[in-house]
Amino acid sequence: MTINPFHLAIPVKNLELMRKFYRDILSCPEGRSTDIWVDFNFFGHQLVIHKADISEDIKKRLTNPVDGHHVPVPHFGVVLDWQDWENLALDLRKKEIHFVIEPYVRFKGEIGEQGTMFFLDPEGNALEFKAFKDIKNLFEK
């Protein structure tokens, strides 16, 4: 099976603020846009931000306990190669991004060993970036 890029569209209040975050902080190349939406190459996938009047009730943060952390739900992100994940973590630290969950390695030495980190975009959307020591173990138990 060929795996094609996913498409994700999220609502945002401030199009320009969010445009700068995804373009300048995460270094996502900007694609097509209008005055109410912008699409980005989100690490090989299509992320579109749509200007919308968002109720604060929609943005209430839920979490699930995982490894002693409060993992924000919902969240989205991508699985990167290990070195790219490490480089992104360093870059985000230099840009003084506040991590909800600092970069760390889970399941060290076990099947499914992975690096993970969580942070929020300027409007509170939770992002997770992860990498597996062995990508073949992505779905292994």
pLDDT tens sequence across 12-62: 999 999 999 999 999 999 999 999 999 999 999 999 999 988 766 555 678
| Distances in whole angstroms, Cα of residue 53 to Cα of each of 13, 22, 38, 50, 120 | 6, 20, 16, 10, 19
Cα–Cα distance, 37 to 11 (Å, whole number) = 9
Same domain, 23 and 68: no
Same domain, 48 and 78: no
Same domain, 134 and 91: yes
Provide the whole-model pTM.
0.89
pLDDT tens sequence across 68-98: 889 988 899 999 999 999 999 999 999 999 9
Domain of 99? 62-141
User: CATH number for the domain including 109?
Assistant: 3.10.180.10
Question: Structurally, how many domains does the chain consist of?
Answer: 2
